[in-house]
Amino acid sequence: MATIKDIAKAAGVSTSAVSRILNHDPNLSVTDETKIRVLEKADELEYIPLQIRKKPSPKRDRLNIGIVDWYVPSSLIEDPYYLYLMVMVEKILAKEGLNSFRLVETDNGYISTINRKPDGIIAIGRFDKEGVSVLEKISKNIVFIDSSPMADRFDSILVNTELGTLLALEYLYGLGHRSIAFLGGTVISDNGMNRNLPCDDNRKSAYIQFMKSHGIYNETLVFEGEKLSFQEGTQQCAKMLGSGLKPTAAFVANDTMATGVMAKLAEQHIRIPEDISIVGFNDLPSSKFLTPPLTSVKINIEYIASCTVETLKNRISGASLFPLKIYVPTSLSVRESTARPKEQ
């Protein structure tokens, strides 16, 4: 930051002369050329007067952020991943000094739990075109988590599920597994345009691609239920066991479903990982406390929340000019539910 001394040196005059010129001293006897030269150097060096530098920045009211999700409470209990995500989003907003409150869906749209208009909205889950239109009337600053409706207009944060699937399968393949089952359920497209229309899970698609590329794909090892839940895990595991097939490993679409799979295997006295290795997805905090602790694809929930909040702040401030579609990478948490197959 330039000082009066810097200006004096650049203009070839004394510091006192610079000070008096900048303060428009009427009693100073210098030529107009000298005054112009000093003012030009002050502008060139981006000089800021001391009294302005010391002046406190005007305080801005805290931003108000509305949070909306499309999951009913029973679904959040069934699959707590989204509950953890919402709690983390609220935590990051609090750390950033931002106000947060819920937007609750009603028959006539959404209402705020407090009497404030949001500066921006964080929308968690799947939202169809009509739902997005309603949210847009509340605020045009929206960041979607776990879906990307109208990607040409709104920011979105997505998990790279394909990468997570490949990490899990490459690990199992490296251990020597060649007969690997997939257990999953119906999901809704992450483009969010029709939340009642089921689609292929990206994890299933990545599984099929990986297995085919390694010449080990067997369509009879794909087991799918209606949703990703504990109960569905037990049911699909029962189908797998009843098929007569004996895969040495199973990749399960989420940890909640994997917990059901493990419970069914324990009921049938099938040992994990001695008889079959199990890999889940999401790496919920409870996964490390299962028996045995579950190997799972880790989603960094804190990073997703931080990335979402930062993206929304940039959208509100105008720093972001174009809609972003961000894929958050995954990693693999290896625990005792996986091992080399017995024949190795």
Query: Concatenated DSSP letters for 210-261?
Result: HHHHTT---GGGEEEESSSSHHHHHHHHHHHHHTT---SEEEESSHHHHHHH
CA–CA gap between residue 168 and residue 304 (Å, rounded): 20
Topology of 4-53 in CATH? 434 Repressor (Amino-terminal Domain) (1.10.260)
Q: How high is the pLDDT of residue 269?
A: 96
Q: pLDDT tens digits for 250-268?
A: 999 999 999 999 999 999 9
In this structure, which long-range contacts are made by residues 21-30, counting pairs with CB atoms below 8 Å and at least 24 apart in sequence? Answer: 22/47, 22/49
- Label residue 186 exposed, middle or buried (CB < 10 Å: 0-12, 13-18, 19+): middle
Q: How high is the pLDDT of residue 110?
A: 81
Q: How high is the pLDDT of residue 58?
A: 47
Q: pLDDT tens digits for 189-247?
A: 555 444 455 566 889 999 999 999 999 999 999 999 888 889 999 999 999 999 999 99
Contacts of 306 (CB under 8 A, 6+ apart): 92
CA–CA gap between residue 10 and residue 108 (Å, rounded): 67
pLDDT, greater one: 335 or 198: 335
How many angstroms from the chain centroid is the CA of residue 36? 55
CA–CA gap between residue 155 and residue 176 (Å, rounded): 41
Q: How high is the pLDDT of residue 106?
A: 79
Q: Does the bond joining 56 to the residue before it have cis omega, within 30 degrees of 0? A: no
Residue 142 is encoded by which pair of tokens? 């929206």
- Highest mean pLDDT of the ranges 35-49, 74-88, 121-135, 314-328: 314-328
CA–CA gap between residue 84 and residue 259 (Å, rounded): 17
Spell out the domain ranges in the chain.
4-53, 64-159+301-328, 161-298
Instruction: Tell me whether domains 4-53 and 161-298 share a fold.
Output: no
Q: How far is CA 158 from CA 39, 126, 151, 201, 301, in A?
A: 53, 12, 12, 14, 11
Q: Token match 């008096």: residue?
A: 20
Q: pLDDT tens digits for 36-72?
A: 787 777 777 777 766 555 555 444 568 999 999 876 6
Q: How high is the pLDDT of residue 276?
A: 97
* Confidence band, pLDDT 50/70/90 cuts, at residue 6: confident
Q: How high is the pLDDT of residue 272?
A: 97
**pLDDT at position 185 over 90:** no
CA–CA gap between residue 228 and residue 284 (Å, rounded): 14
CA–CA gap between residue 177 and residue 249 (Å, rounded): 7
- Highest mean pLDDT of the ranges 34-48, 65-79, 103-117, 267-281: 267-281
Q: How high is the pLDDT of residue 130?
A: 82
Whether 17 and 30 have beta carbons less than 8 Å apart is answered as: yes
User: Phi and psi dihedrals of 321, rounded to 5?
Assistant: -95, -25
**pLDDT at position 104 over 80:** yes
pLDDT, greater one: 126 or 163: 163
Give the E-state strand segments of 16-83 in sequence order: 64-69
Average pLDDT, the chain: 87
Q: pLDDT tens digits for 66-102?
A: 999 876 665 556 678 888 888 999 999 999 999 999 8
* Averaged pLDDT for residues 149-177: 95
Q: Which CATH architecture has domain 64-159+301-328?
A: 3-Layer(aba) Sandwich (3.40)
Query: Concatenated DSSP letters for 77-122?
Result: HHSTHHHHHHHHHHHHHHHTT-EEEEEEEETTEEEESSS---SEEE
pTM confidence score: 0.76
- Highest mean pLDDT of the ranges 107-111, 113-117, 282-286, 309-313: 309-313
* Confidence band, pLDDT 50/70/90 cuts, at residue 140: very high
Topology of 161-298 in CATH? Rossmann fold (3.40.50)
